[in-house]
Amino acid sequence: MKKVLLTLMVALFALVAVSETVITVAAGAVGQELELTKKAAEMYMEIHPDVTVKVLDTPDMVQDRLGLYLQFLEAKSPEIDVYQVDVIWPGDLAQHFVDLYEHNADKVVSMHFPAIIENNTVDGKLVAIPWFTDAGLLYYRTDLLEKYGLNPPATWDELEEAARIIQEGERKTNPDFWGFVWQGNAYEGLTCDALEWLASNDAGTIISSDKKITIANSNAVEILEKVAGWVGTISPSGVLTFAEEDARAVWQAGNAAFMRNWPYAYSLSKGEDSAVAGKFDVSPLPAGKSGNGAATLGGWQLSVSKYSKNPEVAADFALFMAGYEVQKMRAVEGSFNPTIQALYADYEVLKANPFFGSLYDVFVNAVARPSTATAPRYNEVSTLFFKAVHSILSGTADARNALEELALDLEDMTGFEVVWGF
């Protein structure tokens, strides 16, 4: 009898093992990303006890993450079912992802920002569902502006002056204090920062939407020379190695007056371990000669691999993760900007992130990188761009010469016409 029971138990466990579906999501780990992705996965598993969701931690640096993804995708590996993809990748990676319209996405797309749905649609196929959106913001110390009788800067000139004044004053008691920290490493983050500088100074967006190379112009030279002047003066020399988390570490330790970063840093800056909690606010980025500040469009989506062994479950999971409940949780707990429009009127979301309402237009009107015009070679275009900018900021190249050479390299790569602006 015991043998019969044992046989039945083994058979039952085997049946459970067979019936359980395991999917893996490749997710980011910047700030609270990994923690909140795991929490959302637990929420899904509570509803679907027959599904196990594994969360794969991926590199923070965008280029490193893309390189890892391509290893899996080009090998047609089924090991990852759902990918967290940058807003600039749908055009480049579309061939590897399923059409979410075939998995009930048509029932939910109307909730999301139309521009992001359009961005994620390739040849009529929805290859990614929006998860959260981003735009660059200026973080500033309200206590220090008050201390030195200053207002939040509306222009880059005003930021330079305010950063210098505050830095000189705070250095009397804190030699580690800096005026302004940002993302200066040679990676996609520098492309984002630099695009904001260019657009704010009426210097174009590298390559226009009608496929003209516009980077070689005097306004671009002017603003990049200005930024180069920040390095080692109001910004540490080491800023040329900074990514998002490096800038946040300096800022959150109380060692900077201003910071350029994404919205995710807001909730972390309010945390109990933050030296700036209760002492900061955010605003649009400053303007150059255009008269308006500019914010680069960021954000991440969820795509389902064509090579998944469980595409139906993976797609259901992706749509759940991008749904109202999860986006609200991530907005309240992590300051991740929703892509669902109704959440910008949600009381709890606005209570946790008051700037979501006041800076709504910044997020809606953010400047897109030229990923659509240059697909499927955007990553190569961006790499040429951020390397050229980095060479200018580090003082190893003259700004005009570097931009002229960049324009010619882009012409060779894309075949697009160069519009000279000198």
CA quadruple 414, 207, 301, 101: dihedral sign? negative
What CA–CA distance (Å, rounded) separates 254 from 258?
A: 10
Peptide bond into 376 cis (omega under 30): yes
How confident is the model at residue 422, as a pLDDT?
94
What CA–CA distance (Å, rounded) separates 92 from 373?
A: 11
8 Å CB contact between 303 and 81: no
8 Å CB contact between 204 and 214: yes
How confident is the model at residue 82, as a pLDDT?
98
DSSP3 helix / strand / coil % (the chain, rounded to 5): 50, 20, 30
Strands (DSSP E) contained in 109-235 are: 121-122, 125-126, 129-135, 137-141, 178-181, 212-213
Q: Amino acid identity, residue 144?
A: L
8 Å CB contact between 169 and 246: no
Q: In 3D, which of 307, 297, 215, 269 has the Cα closest to residue 32?
A: 269
- Give Cα 83 to chain centroid, integer Å: 15
First to last CA, the chain: 91
What CA–CA distance (Å, rounded) separates 43 from 380?
A: 38
8 Å CB contact between 340 and 111: yes
Give the tokens for residue 110. 């109307």
- Give Cα 133 to chain centroid, integer Å: 8
Strands 256-261, 178-181: pairing is parallel
DSSP tally for the chain: helices H, then strands E: 19, 13
How confident is the model at residue 19, as a pLDDT?
57
CA quadruple 321, 260, 368, 94: dihedral sign? negative
What CA–CA distance (Å, rounded) separates 211 from 365?
A: 21
Give helix 62-74 / helix 188-200 axis angle, nearest 10°. Answer: 130
What CA–CA distance (Å, rounded) separates 73 from 309?
A: 14
Paired with 135 in beta bridges are 297
Q: 2 in the Ramachandran plot: left (φ > 0), alpha (ψ -120 to 50) or beta?
A: alpha
8 Å CB contact between 257 and 167: yes
Q: 124 in the Ramachandran plot: left (φ > 0), alpha (ψ -120 to 50) or beta?
A: left
Q: Residue ranges per domain, the chain?
A: 2-134+297-364
Superfamily grouping for domain 2-134+297-364: Periplasmic binding protein-like II (3.40.190.10)
How confident is the model at residue 61, as a pLDDT?
87
Give the tokens for residue 347. 């009381």
What CA–CA distance (Å, rounded) separates 54 from 24?
A: 5
The parts of the chain modelled with pLDDT lower than 50 are: 1-18
Give the tokens for residue 15. 């049946």
What CA–CA distance (Å, rounded) separates 213 from 416?
A: 7
Where do the H-state alpha helices sit in 229-346? 244-252, 264-269, 311-321, 324-334
Q: In 3D, which of 406, 415, 412, 411 has the Cα closest to residue 388?
A: 406
pTM of the model as a whole: 0.91
CA quadruple 20, 25, 30, 36: dihedral sign? negative
What CA–CA distance (Å, rounded) separates 134 from 401?
A: 32
CA quadruple 192, 198, 200, 202: dihedral sign? negative
What CA–CA distance (Å, rounded) separates 401 from 387?
A: 13
Give the tokens for residue 282. 């955010």
